[in-house]
Amino acid sequence: MSIFSLSDVAAADHLPRGGSRADKLRVTLPGIGAALAWAAFGAACLVRDDVGDWSRTRDVAIATFVIAAVVLSGALAADHLGRVGTALRARSTWLLALGLFLAVWELATAKFALLPLPFFPPPQAIVEVYTDDLPKLADSAWASVKLQLGGYLIGAALGFITGVSIGWSTWIGYWVHPVLRFIGPLPATAWLPIAFFTFPSSWSASTFLIALATGFPVTVLTWSGVASVSSAYYDVARTLGARPSFLVLKVAIPAALPHVFVGLFMGLGASFAVLVVAEMIGVKAGLGWYLQWAQGWAAYANMYAALLVMSLLCSGAITLLFKLRDRVLIWQKGVVKW
């Protein structure tokens, strides 16, 4: 192996082969600091009695010490863990900050009550929600996923078809464009009274609102993508004997896909916002309903636990959509970051 290839491998591992002890300490120190921060969080759980009645304090402390041991072992053995070790080193600073944040949070809430209860529960109170109220929280999350997914797919499909139709047909654009300009800019939540009066159930009304919030950005971006396709593509295809259906399916739509995915991203964010509002007002299940229920009972630990689940679901959905985009638009992989 040449000198250059050895240096490349060392750079990829963030640790020069044969480096000095100072170099090794420099790349290992953040991981050691992260382990100490998590150990400090565990110690903060046990340093004195809680000011409230929380049953999971000792369990949280034990789990925290286990995490600290795992992080420390990974930091010291990162050179032998391949990609896992590289990923651990890259995230060690974040682990350090998170451990310190949790330790300060524990001391400021459960130990010294510097932050008022019940508005600021300690970490173990949120853990209690996941252990003691998990069935209700899981049912609410599943109800939100079903509602959001159904409305999003309907809105994305209708928006895509409408956008392609407006971008391709001048006649369709003449009739649909004014309606789109009138309805589209209005927030979907402004249609709440009409939707809940018109549709037979709160579920169908919420689905309609989510589809409406999703459909507008997908329609506009798809329309822009189809309209911006170079006429030279169509001329070449017609020269080869392509029919109008071929021009739409094989030329216009593939060329417009980058715009389509931008519309899908925008529609996904809008659909989550409408989902929470719709569940808080009319739906009898879901994370929005759970948030409303928790706030009514002043169960702020339940509320924060639901917000964390909602954040993970939203982030996961966007990540999946980005992976789909990278697979479909392989030539633009990595152009848009998440």
Q: Choose between 156 and 277: higher pLDDT.
A: 156
Using an 8 Å Cβ cutoff, are 291 and 275 in contact?
no
Using an 8 Å Cβ cutoff, are 290 and 140 in contact?
yes
Query: How large a percentage of the chain has pLDDT more than 90?
Result: 41
Q: Residue 195 corresponds to which tokens in the numbers above?
A: 């939707």
pLDDT of res. 90: 84
pLDDT of res. 12: 40
pLDDT of res. 80: 80
Using an 8 Å Cβ cutoff, are 106 and 38 in contact?
no
Our measurement of the distance from residue 191's CA atom to the centroid of its chain's CA atoms, rounded to an integer in Å, reads 26
Peptide bond into 122 cis (omega under 30): no
Q: What is the DSSP string of 139-151?
A: HHHHHHHHHHHHH
pLDDT of res. 20: 59
pLDDT tens digits, one per residue of 166-179: 988 889 888 888 88
Mean pLDDT computed over 94-106: 94
Rounded Cα–Cα distance for residues 122 and 113 (Å): 9
CA dihedral 49, 54, 59, 61 (to 10 degrees): -40
pTM to 2 decimals? 0.81
pLDDT tens digits, one per residue of 47-64: 888 888 888 899 999 999
pLDDT tens digits, one per residue of 182-224: 888 888 888 888 888 888 888 888 899 999 999 999 999 999 9
Indicate if the pLDDT at residue 16 is higher than 80: no
Q: What is the DSSP string of 285-328?
A: SSHHHHHHHHHHTT-HHHHHHHHHHHHHHHHHHHHHHHHHHHHH
Rounded Cα–Cα distance for residues 58 and 65 (Å): 11
Using an 8 Å Cβ cutoff, are 278 and 272 in contact?
no
3-state class (DSSP) for residue 122: coil
3-state percent breakdown (helix, strand, coil) of the chain, nearest 5:
80, 0, 20
Side chain identity at residue 170, one-letter code: T
pLDDT of res. 13: 45
- The full length of the chain comes to 338
Q: Residue 233 corresponds to which tokens in the numbers above?
A: 């593509």
Rounded Cα–Cα distance for residues 107 and 46 (Å): 10
Q: Residue 337 corresponds to which tokens in the numbers above?
A: 């970051």
N- to C-terminal Cα distance for the chain? 36
Could you tell me where in the chain the CATH 1.10.3720.10 domains are found? 134-332
Rounded Cα–Cα distance for residues 198 and 202 (Å): 10
Q: Residue 27 corresponds to which tokens in the numbers above?
A: 């790349």
pLDDT of res. 193: 83
- Residue 277: which of 138, 121, 117, 151 has the closest Cα? 151
- Residue 332: which of 264, 261, 232 has the closest Cα? 261
pLDDT of res. 187: 85
Indicate if the pLDDT at residue 132 is higher than 60: yes
Supply angle C-alpha 195, 199, 203, rounded to 5: 90
Indicate if the pLDDT at residue 35 is higher than 80: yes
Q: Which residues contact 207 (CB under 8 A, 6 or more apart)?
A: 147, 150, 151, 154
- Residue 208: which of 140, 266, 282 has the closest Cα? 282
Indicate if the pLDDT at residue 17 is higher than 50: no
pLDDT interval class at 138 (50, 70, 90): very high
Q: What is the DSSP string of 64-101?
A: HHHHHHHHHHHHHTGGGSTHHHHHHHHHHHHHHHHHHH
For domain 134-332, the CATH superfamily is: MetI-like (1.10.3720.10)
